[in-house]
Amino acid sequence: MTTIFLLCGLLCDDVVWEAQAGALGRDHDVRVVKFVEQDSLQAMAAHVLKDAPARFALAGHSMGGRVALEVARQARERVERLALLDTGFEPAVPGEAARRAVLVEQALAEGIDSIAAAWGLPMLAPRRRAEPALVQAVFDMVGRMSGEIYAAQTRALLGRPDATDVLRAIDCPTLILCGEQDGWSPPERHRQMAALVPHAALRLVDDCGHMSTMEQPGAVLDALRAWLAMDVRRTHAHA
């Protein structure tokens, strides 16, 4: 039985992986990890590794993908297979801290619920923003966080290292997945990531924004099942 870590992103908890964790958990040891106490990617990666078995599969969504890359940086030999969803690999860019600070400061001053719509709606594909149950699920997830958690997670993201060399060194079966309408971490970035990873499988999901696991749960589950079926030996043979 494979141990699969499913890593949550910014302002996300177990709900973001609910559909996939439930289905995969019938055949695997699935562990969903959220990050509400750490304020660096290094500490988040250490949190994943502290109770991890010797070998495991690792999937990260959004900020969770950044954490997955840091886990690979710290312990590449332990990562049996890697999935990166709606994420990125570059360091912070000029002006990013100021842009992120607007909503963080509002959340600290007015409460986390005050930023749910401004943060959550752009994360969804335009057509998905008209689906009340999905929108409410995203808003409720944000509401279970706090301004302090948001600030800590934002510090972690702003301090992220360049992961280009990590991607180039990956030698395990790798899935790179992105919503076609992801305006936060767009498909072109994922094409760049796939070009850096030897023999990566790139999957772009149509009618889907940044919250791919919630917007298109079935398509993401199918992609993860195909990823779990990828031949480890073949990947290592080509590395």
> How would residue 78 be classed by pLDDT, with cut points 50, 70 and 90?
very high
What does the pLDDT look like over 34-49, one tens digit per residue? 999 999 999 999 999 9
φ, ψ of residue 5 to 5 degrees: the values are -90, 130
Which residues contact residue 157 at a Cβ distance below 8 angstroms, ignoring those fewer than 6 apart?
10, 41, 63, 66, 92, 100
What domains can be seen in the chain, in order of their start residue? 3-92+161-238 (3.40.50.1820), 96-153 (no CATH)
What does the pLDDT look like over 59-77, one tens digit per residue? 999 999 999 999 999 999 9
Name the maximum alpha-carbon separation found in the chain.
54
Which pLDDT belongs to residue 232?
A: 73
Name the pTM for this structure: 0.95
Q: Which of 177, 182, 88, 61 is nearest to 126 (CA)?
A: 182
What does the pLDDT look like over 163-194, one tens digit per residue? 999 999 999 999 999 999 999 999 999 999 99
